[in-house]
Amino acid sequence: MAEKPTVMAVQKALESAKKRNFTETVELAINLKDVDLSLPKNRIADDIVLPNGRGRKVRICVIGGGELVQKAKDVADVTITADELQTIADDKKQAKKLANDIDYFIAEAPMMALVGKRLGIVLGPRGKMPKPIAPGLDPTAMINGLRNSVSVRTKDRMTFHAPVGTVDMTPEQIADNIEAILKRVELKLEKGRMNIASSYVKTTMGPSERLI
């Protein structure tokens, strides 16, 4: 049985990449066409769950009151109370480090405005504004879902990128992840695949292979 084209492209990208002394990320690049991204309604801003995960640990921070923080202690990588939020926000270096180290932020819904006010300056430009959670809700399911998710954001750019795994994963696993993203992106576009000019897969420092 012939290999699927996506699997073959991933295989080529992995084989043509030089071996590095760190685990490279595998990235998907998508180039759009005939989409007016100056209109916010046409932009894509989505979190997509990958069937085979990211291939690396995804770090998650929960910000909230005592009850939520207590429930998140064993499942989140970092938990922050309202008092701690104030301290972090006052230390610009610490706030930037937190924003860079964490992949996803979850905040108790009533605290969203406060988080935006105190940390929006470092989280906003990185596309990491928190996802709201209802007070008292168990965050475990939300955290587990985000551990296998990637954020796909076009903003106003016709070309955008998303991580789809690491070089330690099999070509089949990476291909499944790529197809999940392409399918979701197509659903968001007015003309579906017709709005995708091309897409490529590559390792962080390797050459790219065309998919579409």
Domain CATH number, residue 30: 3.30.190.20
pTM of structure: 0.87
Please check whether residues 129 and 156 belong to one and the same domain.
no
Backbone angles phi and psi of 23, in degrees to 5: -80, 110
What integer is the mean pLDDT of 74-83? 95
**Burial letters 105-118, b for 16+ CB under 10 A, else e:** bbbbeebbebbeeb
Please check whether residues 140 and 74 belong to one and the same domain.
yes
The domain containing residue 40 runs over which residues? 5-55+150-210
Residue 48, pLDDT above cutoff 90: yes
Residue 68, pLDDT above cutoff 60: yes
CA distances (Å), origin 151, targets 13, 83, 145, 160, 185? 22, 29, 12, 11, 12
Please check whether residues 13 and 89 belong to one and the same domain.
no
Question: Which pLDDT score, from 0 to 100, does residue 1 have?
Answer: 43
Backbone angles phi and psi of 160, in degrees to 5: -140, 160
Residue 2, pLDDT above cutoff 60: no
Calculate what percentage of the chain has a pLDDT beyond 90. 92
What integer is the mean pLDDT of 83-104? 95
pLDDT, one tens digit per residue, over 166-204 is 999 999 999 999 999 999 999 999 999 999 999 999 999
| Cα of 115 vs its chain's centroid, Å | 20
Averaged pLDDT score across all residues of the chain: 94
Please state the length of the chain: 212
pLDDT, one tens digit per residue, over 111-152 is 999 999 999 999 999 989 999 999 989 999 999 999 999 999
Please check whether residues 23 and 37 belong to one and the same domain.
yes
Quick check: 48 and 104 in contact, CB under 8 A? no
Tally the domains of the chain: 2
Retrieve residue 73's tokens. Answer: 């202690």
Please check whether residues 127 and 88 belong to one and the same domain.
yes
What integer is the mean pLDDT of 70-98? 95
What integer is the mean pLDDT of 7-31? 94
Question: Which pLDDT score, from 0 to 100, does residue 212 have?
Answer: 82
Report CA torsion sign: 145, 150, 154, 158: negative
Residue 162, pLDDT above cutoff 90: yes
Please check whether residues 114 and 162 belong to one and the same domain.
no
What integer is the mean pLDDT of 57-64? 96
Please check whether residues 183 and 199 belong to one and the same domain.
yes
Longest dimension (CA), the chain: 60
What integer is the mean pLDDT of 54-58? 94
Spatial separation of the C-alpha atoms in residues 146 and 60, rounded to whole Å: 8
What integer is the mean pLDDT of 92-121? 96
Question: Which pLDDT score, from 0 to 100, does residue 79 have?
Answer: 97
